Amino acid sequence: MPTSLQFRDFQASDLPSIAIAMGDAQVTQFYGLETPHTDAQTIASEQLDWYTVQTSEGDAWWQAICMEGKLIGAIGVYDRDEDGDSAELGYWLLPSHWGQGVMRCALRQWLPRAFERLALHSVVAYVEPDNQASIKLLTHTGFTQEGLLRECTRRGTRYVSLHRLSLLVHEL
């Protein structure tokens, strides 16, 4: 499992790496990306702006996951719910780093910082049933499956169900 991960705020120079990720159907298949655009560069620019705005508003925090100084993924919490002191988890990783324990390591290193920074009680993740890799990742990282929300959101023209998983601050 890699231990040499670094986390940093996103910067304009990350645009080419984000474009590679946003142009890869493997990365975006379960990402829940909502955009009318099809050009990876345009989508990457939207994503970079979104990460930056979300973080600057203080109710979210997105960071670049880097290895040896190169951006290999993203991790963030967003849509903070003031009533429950919870936020939703999002992440992506370039496919060349899949299956190596990188995201598991990233979650374990980064989540305690996110809980502290946003004063969270819980982090929730919504995962499509077909995304077994993410379900396995999250359960191995300490998340508990709470249930299945049936056909609760749209992906294009189809409705999809989502598993809801959560991690409480005292479970870190």
- How much is the pLDDT for 103? 97
Q: What is the arithmetic mean of pLDDT over 110-124? A: 98
pLDDT at 35 over 90: no
- How much is the pLDDT for 1? 56
Indicate the number of domains in the chain: 1
The tokens describing 122, both together, are 């819980």
| Cβ atoms of 121 and 85 closer than 8 Å | yes
pLDDT at 81 over 70: yes
The boundaries of the domain holding residue 70 are 5-171
Q: Find the CATH number of the domain harbouring 164.
A: 3.40.630.30
- How much is the pLDDT for 37? 63
pLDDT at 113 over 90: yes
pLDDT at 36 over 70: no
* pLDDT digits 0-9 by tens, 132-150: 999 999 999 999 999 999 9
Q: Is the pTM of this model over 0.85?
A: yes
- How much is the pLDDT for 24? 87
Query: What HEC string does the chain produce?
Result: CCCCEEEECCCHHHHHHHHHHHCCHHHHCCCCCCCCCCCHHHHHHHHHHHHHHHHHCCCCEEEEEEECCEEEEEEEEEEEECCCCEEEEEEEECHHHCCCCHHHHHHHHHHHHHHHHCCCCEEEEEECCCCHHHHHHHHHCCCEEEEEEEEEEEECCEEEEEEEEEEEHHHC
Percentage of the chain with pLDDT > 70? 94
pLDDT at 33 over 80: no
